[in-house]
Amino acid sequence: MGHRKSSLNNAKVNKQDYSIRRLMESDLDAYFSIRLESLKNAPTNFMSSYEEEERTGTPFFEGILRHAGIDNLIFGAFIKDRLVGVIGLYQENQLKAKHKCNIWGMYVQSDCRQKGIGRALLREAIDHIKDRLKCLIANITVESNNISAIKLYESMGFKLWGNEPKAMCWNGQYFDEYHLSLLLQDIS
């Protein structure tokens, strides 16, 4: 999969180009850094916690980046050499569920939001799922108060089909999780 380039027009990003590509093992340190940042800055947007992942370190993600096939990978958005956004995906591996793919771990650094990077990452994942994996369904979950993410997903065609009440408990407060799906045969 080649690099996609887009232009940004915003004072914080100074009209720099960004590119999206599949992350490799050499990106592990940058990925783990942005992963910890996401867990620290948006703790209710992810089921994992900063403390857990800081303690366990990089082996899980190193395995994904080292052994990634087309069916389990992470894409990254870069401004020059700076990793500013990420999105992961994996195809279900059970025979009866191979037509489905799950999107996970989407995050864009705060100074790069509202610039189209999140949309571009999601588009890259959807295109990969549809064109390379030939899946029929892309699934994603989102914390029910994450309105900007919900709006983005719905604008890309995802449909809300379920609500898991009290899916997460953080600092004594419960949060619901929405389940959304995109039927890929319905998009061109």
Tens digit of each residue's pLDDT (9 = 90 or more) over 42-96: 999 999 999 998 888 888 888 888 877 889 899 999 999 999 999 999 999 999 9
Tens digit of each residue's pLDDT (9 = 90 or more) over 54-66: 888 888 888 888 8
The answer to whether the CB of 90 falls within 8 A of the CB of 72 is yes
Can you give the residue range of the structural domain that contains 149? 4-186
Look at the chain and report how many structural domains it folds into.
1
φ, ψ of residue 17 in degrees (nearest 5) = -85, 150
Tell me, what CATH number does 102's domain have? 3.40.630.30
Tens digit of each residue's pLDDT (9 = 90 or more) over 122-135: 999 999 999 999 99
The answer to whether the CB of 17 falls within 8 A of the CB of 7 is yes
